Structure 1
Amino acid sequence: MKELTAFEMESVNGAGWLQDGLASLGSSMGASAWTLSSNLLTIDLPIIGTINLESIAPNLGSQVGNMIGTVIGFTIEGSLASIPMFGGFINKLLGN
C-alpha cells in the first residue's frame, strides 16, 4: 500500500481547488529554483570529491514549494470563507 504525501492527503481530504492549484504551482516553482541553483550548491571537497546538494535531496525544492503553496492557498481560502454572508458561497465554490 502506498503512503500518501502531504499534497495527496490534502487532495483526498477535500482541499479546495485554489489550495491545490497553488500547491502545484509552488511545487513546480520550487523544483525549478532548486534545479537552477544546483550550481551554487556544489561543494568540492579534497578527499571526498564533488558533492551536489541536489543529488542528496533531489525533491527538496518541490516539497518546500508545495508546502508554501499549500499554506498560502489554505490562508486565502480560509480568509475568503470567513467573510460574512459571502463565505458560504465561496466555501462551496472552493470545494470545502
Structure 2
Amino acid sequence: MDAVLQQQINQLTLEIARLKEAQEVAEKNVVNLVARSEFTVALISALITDGTISTDDAVDFIKEAPVEIPGFTESVEQARHTVIEILSYPRAHF
C-alpha cells in the first residue's frame, strides 16, 4: 500500500477515534443535564406537595426565569412549557 494512502488512513482512523470520544463526552453531558432537570422538577413538586411553595408561585417563577442558551431559544421555551405543564398537573386534575 502506498505510504501516503496509509498515512491518510491512519489520520482518518485517529480522527474517528477522537470524534467517538467527543460524542461519548457529549452524551454523558446530556444525561447529566437531563438527570439534574428531573431531580429539580421532582424537588419542586415535593415542595409544592408539602406546601412549602404554591404551584402558582412555582409556575410564575418558571415563566419568568431568565434562561437563555444562544441558538437554542426554541428548545429552552419547549422545556419551560413542559416544566410548567408538569408542575400544573395537580392543579388541573385534583
Structure with max Cα Rg: 2
Bigger fraction of residues in strand: 1
Per the TM superposition, whether the score is higher than 0.5 is no
Structure with more relative contact order (C-alpha pairs < 8 Å, separation 6 or more): 1
Between Structure 1 and Structure 2, the one with more helix by share is 2
